[in-house]
Amino acid sequence: MKKGIFGLVVLASMFFMNITEAFAQYDDDMVKVYRWYSSVDRNYVTLAEGEIQEGQLLQWKYKDKTLLFYGYKTPGPNRVAVYRWTNPVTKDQVSVAGDFIPDADMMQQGYTLKSLQFYAPIRRDQNHVAVYNWYKPKAKDWVTVPEFGDTDKYIKKGWRHKTFQFYGVMRKDVAGR
């Protein structure tokens, strides 16, 4: 009887160690994705944690840091690369799923400095949220909004052309979930 209980305890501890290890690997590959607002340029930027140092962003007068979702640091099955493009004339920055808009079209619209930000799921899963880009024609500005965002607020402020981009990974510290 003692051998049976001991064996069961060993088996259970191995099971929990494997689960803990899987979660640790999951967390190591995750990166927080934030939206910042520039009070100087009056536009939004979506950035992966560590992409630009927070102190630098604050010095550039960015504020209203908002955690949107999580992305992945590495490529993988059913993931798409997400790139940040910058337009030096309008000072707009937009995060776009790889090949959603051809590079030639982005450059024709004045965007340069394409840089890899993170990788995002392309399929909905239990803990995924659809992520959209909204465009404000008057300001020539893009904003990245997860589907739980306040859609009416954006429409009232002149945002249009809502386009699906990818899925973000939701965690407990995002949107109170």
Strands (E) located in 27-140: 30-38, 43-48, 62-72, 79-87, 92-97, 112-121, 128-136
Q: For 80-111, what is each residue's pLDDT tens digit?
A: 999 999 999 888 889 999 878 889 999 998 99
Residue 51 has pLDDT above 80, yes or no: yes
Query: Residue 22: which pLDDT band, with cuts at 50, 70 and 90?
Result: very low
Delimit the domains of the chain by residue range. Answer: 2-169
What is the rounded distance in angstroms from the CA atom of residue 10 to the CA atom of residue 151? 51
Q: Is the pTM of this model over 0.85?
A: no
What element of type H or E holds 162? strand 160-169
